[in-house]
Structure 1
Amino acid sequence: MKTREEQAVFTQSLQWLERVQQLIPSGCSTLAKTPERLFPGETAICCVEARQSRFIDIDGNEWLDCEMAMGTASWGHAREEVQAAIVKQLAKGTSFSVPADVELTAAELILARFEQRYAALRFCKGGADAVSGAVRLARAFTRRPKVMSTAYHGWSDWSAYGYYGGDAEAMGIPAEIRSSTVWVPHASLRRIEDEVRRHGDQLACIVLCPSDWQREELAKVMELAARHSILIIFDEVTSGARMGKQATAGEYGLWPDILCLSKGLANGLPLGVVLGSEPIMRLCGQVKFSSAHSSETIALAALIACEKLMQAAPSWPSWRGGTQKLMTELQAQLDVLGLTEELALHGTYASFCLRSRAEQDFYRDPFRAYMMKRLAQQGIFTKGFFVFSDAHSEAELLLVQESLKEVLLEWSKQEHRSSKSAV
């Protein structure tokens, strides 16, 4: 495999790591970015600047970014039109004592993108806030206490209890939370049917990540919920700005009672939004769905710029075709090398990963470690997932494709792969 022209150095990265771990638990306030999920001395661990599809680490090494800030920078890092909107709004002020004009403009653009299928919305500062706000609205609207959780929906008690498992009290989650949260792992229609029979008249809502589901199965879940007067919440925090102009809901033609969006809305700035019908959304004040910074102007200005870019885009996402081709090539390589029983290709053009079938903990997967380190030698950065953007060129997607095919070829030649730790 061809390596980058100049070998990366990590002297300052390792010095930074020693200092940051003394002051910030895990080395970062965002769990998914913590150095413990990386390989200090072999991969990037600290960024100082990012432009388009690339970033520079603290040692000056340049990296092709295949994660794009956890999928938040859908238009590319430091997109010119978005940066210009931010600078213009900064000159006017960042947060006011009364509502800002940009909040209404942003709301009108979002609701128009979804063709007025939803009557109203509420802004917040992130995905976990959006989904938890939606859950509280569902409970208030239905006057029912229980919520069914089916995936990772943020760090709030009701979501983390099921997703992370283990000792709830050790995570600071009261054991009593079990009485109000119904946890259904994986996209299983049968399991949901069983739990609805058991808890149906107490369930306020079912929270789903629709991109995890086949359309036909998802439609059956929604029909089941409607029969029992259970609200459906789509958690499209990750997929909302990446599956299509109207998110997975629009791609499938299936519209939930409440729709939650976040990552990518403002191209890396913190922002979330909850959309719903007028009877549901009028309860926002009643349930106290609010925070001081929900209406700050900078993220809203960035959102307005992103919405205008999306309006002008002939199709969205722009990387759909290139990523689908890349995934087809990878699946063919898995087939040719006889790796399909050992490794699996998961996801869509919005986000995908290659992983070992036998290892349940993705971050302990020996193949993930091997892949990350081998790609790093070419200046390609990933934490195991591949998330592209409008800034990625065809040549860059081809580079990732050929590099991954080479990684698979090398992996197939190793003996005792399933038990071998990555090198």
Structure 2
Amino acid sequence: MSTLLISIVLSIVGGVLFTLIGLISGSDETATMVPFTLLVILLGAPPVAVFSFFMAAVISKHLSHAAPTALMGIPGDTMMVPMLDYAETLRKLGVPHIALRKMISGGIIGALIAFPVALLFAQFLGQFADFFETYTGVIFAVAAVIIAYFSKGKWVSVLLIIPFAFLIQGLNLVSFEVLDKNLSISFFLGIAIGPMFSDILIALSSTARKSVTRAEPQDYNLAPEIKSWSGYFPNPFRILTGLQKVAGSIAAFITSFTFTFSPTGMTALMGELIGSKIKGTYKKATTTLSVMNGVTESTYIAETLIPLIAFGLPLSPMALGPAAALFNAPPVFSVDHNLHHLMSMGDFFVYGLIGLIVGAFIAYPFIMNFSRKATVFIMKCISQEAIIGMFIGIVCVIAYYEGQVTGLLVTFTIATVGGLLNRILGVGSGAQFMIYYGSSWMMAVLIGL
């Protein structure tokens, strides 16, 4: 089978899979994208096909995650949290279906703008790649402090950088003694599933369970679907007003350069900045939602492409989270041998575009036509516990593949500590990933390990 055909097939798989995953409320991007991307890599897919798969996953996930947010008021994932208030406003007005259409149409525009802009900006920054490669350890350590400071935990996140780095290197030393090799996948799988795994631990704890116990099931009221277009493929440019298209385009263009900032933070910032200039409840809410969801696409695309193409190092929150496997997936990829080294600029453009187009053609019309029916089906028939169990099972397979029982122990040790640090103290996954990458340099400097 040709590389091009494999790329198209994997794009379809990624588009279908993550369109469905996005419909499941609370499906964290890192916990879902990292295991599946790793699985594709370890199964031996060509590098360009891996990239196509990932780009299809990004756009489809960030289109379908708008459905539970707009229709039920439950965040599809962490990127949806800034949009809840505006989505609630439109639900009270009786037009949640309008909110959803505006959101995912804005997402299409954000993706179309961010992709070429990020490619060009990455090519420009590539001139400084030698500097970044020379001072990798220092850069990771400094970046860990910055990202930790801007996470929810703020100063406690900064304070815990060294202890968490010590834990990582201690576990790495033990695993090397047992296996005669360093583990990598097991560590960032543990960080990726940490928040999800901590929820399981809290539910199992007799003392902590009270915080997640509900006395009765929550009711959701879904508005009927009203179709305002003919055929199966609606035109996103006709769904948005002129103001919404211009505002979304400007926001997507600006955020395509801010690859070192938090995607959630940029989503909230750009949405509030543009929304503050608009009068009228309906007009303000629909415009802000279209802009915000466009920014979720632009930040995720830019924060993947720029560090991957320019440096080959995970120097963005996105690269340290959902896109981590593109930078480091031993024994296939490492920070010295990944897509940055294996793909040309032409490859990034062609195969990235394949992934985006295929993902958009799968997710956009499906959500526009069947979002209500799909949401009802998932709420009634798909167990949240079963989904979590599926992800934990995939993680177990991959961790065992890398380090057998030792890999499993490392993964769930990191998941336990990292997850509780995230949920209780606000030490975000992005900060934990950066600490992981900088931990060897930190421990070498501090204790000569």
Say whether the fold is shared (TM-score over 0.5): no
Alignment TM-score, normalising by the size of structure 1: 0.24
Structure with bigger RCO (C-alpha 8 Å, 6+ apart): 2
Where is the helix percentage greater, Structure 1 or Structure 2? Answer: 2
Alignment TM-score, normalising by the size of structure 2: 0.23
Where is the strand percentage greater, Structure 1 or Structure 2? Answer: 1
